[in-house]
Amino acid sequence: MDWHRRDRTWIGGHRGANALAPENTFAGFEVARSAGVDYVETDVRAAVDGTLVLVHDDRLERTTDGSGAVDGRRPDELARLDAGSWFGARFAGERIPTLEGFLGWIEGVPPLGAILEAKGPGTGGPLARRIATSSAADRLAICGFSAAELRSARAALPGIVTVLLLDTDDLQAGPAIELTRAAQADGAALLGRALTPRRLAELRAAGLLVGAGTRNRPSAVRRALALAVDLLDSDRPPVAVRVRAEVDA
């Protein structure tokens, strides 16, 4: 997995396979891997003691049978929660993965990569430091909306690839290229309508990576591929992988 390879668009499973399995669970990661993605994308938050776990929201209600803030619960409490039944009965018993568990899994499935989103304050540095000790480190990258977290990750692990997430609201603060450089990031994922040919060209001219955010409909995937973006996530990995194969044929 070479994040800087420019001869194709890398396709990732967003939160695993968000539309096909409970998000940020091993069930979802396996669906994405089986579909033939190049990487999986997942979210990282800290429990009350600083243990890093894979959860998107800052609260537990939407994706588990628990309640309250993720950063207010101990790891053993989080480990007992059902993170699958909300999505479907056949996923009952899926658990919230820890970062440790996830790294153990991905180390065993080369060449699959992963982009880990630093969610919440204080996650970028610890996440990068743990990645530094992983045998899969060269296949891992960190993304996030927070420039401060990405700078912290870069300070902890200078060689880590980082990607700044930008939507149209974020771009009110300045041009995409300036925001990306201020975050000391290797590139930016331009989400939704933030992805324009002009912004893409500016980032490319500066030697930066360009992501297209999450694209699910075949037509949306084709448009992103036509722009030759570097990274593209999908909630429906089989669709994105199939469309890329059709375009490449």
Q: Which of 19, 56, 57, 66 is catalytic?
A: 56
H or E, element range at 125: helix 124-132
- Which of 14, 130, 154, 236 is catalytic? The answer is 14
CA-to-CA dists, residue 46 to 70, 72, 93, 212, angstroms: 7, 9, 22, 27
Is residue 158 exposed (0-12), middle (13-18) or buried (19+ Cβ within 10 Å)?
Answer: exposed
Residues 183, 147: contact at Cβ < 8 Å? yes
4 is catalytic: no
Rounded-to-integer distance, Cα 142 and Cα 117, Å: 6
Per-residue exposure over 56-84, b if at least 16 CB sit within 10 Å of its own CB, e if not: bbeebeebbebeeebbebebeebbebbbb
Q: What is the DSSP string of 155-217?
A: HH-TT-EEEEEE-TTGGGGS-HHHHHHHTT-SEEEE-GGG--HHHHHHHHHTT-EEEEEE--S
Q: Which residues are catalytic?
A: 14, 56
